[in-house]
Amino acid sequence: MSVTWRQVAAWRTRKHSLDVRRPAGDALDVVSELCGLHAQLMSSAGATLRARVDGLADDAVERALWTDRTLVKTWAMRGTLHLLPAAEYPLWQAGFATYRHYLKPVWLRNFHITAEELTTLMDAVGEVLEDRVLTRAELAGEVAARTSAHIGEKLRESWGAYLKPAAFRGGLVFGPGEGQFVRFTRPDTWLGVDLGVPGGAVEEIALRFLAQQGPATREDFARWWGVSPADGGRAFKALGDRIEPLDVEGETYWARAEDVADLRAAKSVKTVRLLPAFDQYVIAATRHAPQLLDGGTPDRVYRPQGWLSPVLVVNGLMAGVWSQERKGGKLTVTVEPFRSLSVTTRKAVLREVDRMADSVEVHWAD
């Protein structure tokens, strides 16, 4: 039995909470279901949540990060910044601890550091940050004092390159900023969690991926997780009968066994959303974007240097892109649909725009 891409789009729309917005009290559940919020742009992280949650306070994300500590900001899958539920951090960190790319000779050569020096750096970062929150300059200075000026200087270079391995090892997450300066801290002392490594972390993460990004191939998972296709294949193989093959318009994909019946029964969904740049729904479609576009071409959404455009989603399909610009106290939103929109859809877009600010001007770039 085959399913169509329209059914996949409808199923994913519901799994991403893009059909009906959830109450504010469900915000952390939504973050968990999305496998975190992409936070290369912090504004996009909040907007991703607001596309799915009603009544979220303006400072909800910041408060969850720095006051309540129910969210944590760190380098995550593909080495990109994400916000993750703090209660689930041990699982995710156990998964990140399996990354090995930064120990390969080519990586070490490119970043002019030896494996021994990198290990020393990572160990020192964890020691320095215990029960402390430090700027990068402060961290570099203290690491230099414990190791050498050469190793400390590495932390002042190449934003993130040497900090990411420490984060993957569980030695570093982001702390509250100090003015314009980013600060870091140690996750176990900041969150009060035990970083004992749970077995099968990557397999559990693969199941979570399929729960909202499926059906998918091993290559889809490998790209999302940031590993080789062979590693993605091993993760899928380890899932055994927890996943099943599924024919999607003549091609084989994989889905959680518990989701197959719902995918086959998926009915069309009626919804309109303005999703921000780097929204998880758009990331899910990277390798099969043509099947989930309503007009347009993938390069309108998936831009050079890994940039993902803000997207207009209509009934689960990517139907256009949009942008916003604020001048003074006025927000201007420009919507570029890939094809002509119905009057009903345009009214739904205007309702979505009205959620952004009190004073908004809309331009249609048909």
Secondary structure class of 275 (helix, strand, coil) = strand
Q: Rounded to whole angstroms, what are the CA distances from 213 to 11, 39, 79, 299? A: 10, 18, 19, 21
Q: Own/partner pairs for 219-227, CB < 8 Å, 24+ apart?
A: 219/287, 220/286, 220/287, 220/288, 223/78, 223/286, 223/287, 224/77, 224/78, 224/283, 224/284, 224/286, 225/77, 225/78, 225/95, 226/77, 226/78, 226/79, 226/99, 226/101, 227/99
Q: Dihedral through CA 36, CA 38, CA 40, CA 45, nearest 10?
A: -90
φ, ψ (nearest 5 deg) of residue 243: -125, 155
Per-residue pLDDT of the chain (366 residues; tens, 9 = 90+): 799 999 999 999 999 999 999 999 999 999 999 999 999 899 999 999 999 999 999 999 999 999 999 999 999 999 999 999 999 999 999 999 999 999 999 999 999 999 999 999 999 999 999 999 999 999 999 999 999 999 999 998 867 899 999 999 999 999 999 988 999 999 999 999 888 766 899 999 999 999 999 999 999 999 999 999 999 999 999 999 999 999 999 999 999 999 999 999 999 999 999 999 999 999 988 889 999 999 999 999 999 988 999 999 999 999 999 999 988 778 899 999 999 999 999 999 999 999 988 778 899 997
Quick one: pLDDT at residue 23? 97
Helix pair 218-225, 229-238: axis angle to 10 deg: 110
**How many angstroms separate the first and last alpha carbons of the chain?**
39
| Domain at 201-265, CATH class | mainly alpha
Q: What is the distance between the alpha carbons of residues 209 and 330, in angstroms, rounded to a whole number? A: 38
φ, ψ (nearest 5 deg) of residue 241: -80, 10
Q: Is 326 left (phi over 0), alpha (psi -120 to 50) or beta?
A: beta
As given in the structure block, the two tokens for residue 7 are 């059914």
Bridge-based pairing of strands 37-38 and 81-85 is antiparallel
Segments making up each domain of the chain, as ranges: 2-191, 201-265, 272-364
Bridge-based pairing of strands 243-248 and 181-185 is unpaired
As given in the structure block, the two tokens for residue 48 are 């991703």
Q: What is the pTM of this model?
A: 0.95
Contact 276, 312 (CB under 8 A): no
Contact 57, 63 (CB under 8 A): yes
Among candidate residues 189, 263, 204, 211, the one with its CA nearest the CA of residue 235:
204
Contact 198, 90 (CB under 8 A): yes
Contact 222, 232 (CB under 8 A): yes
Strand partners, 274: 312
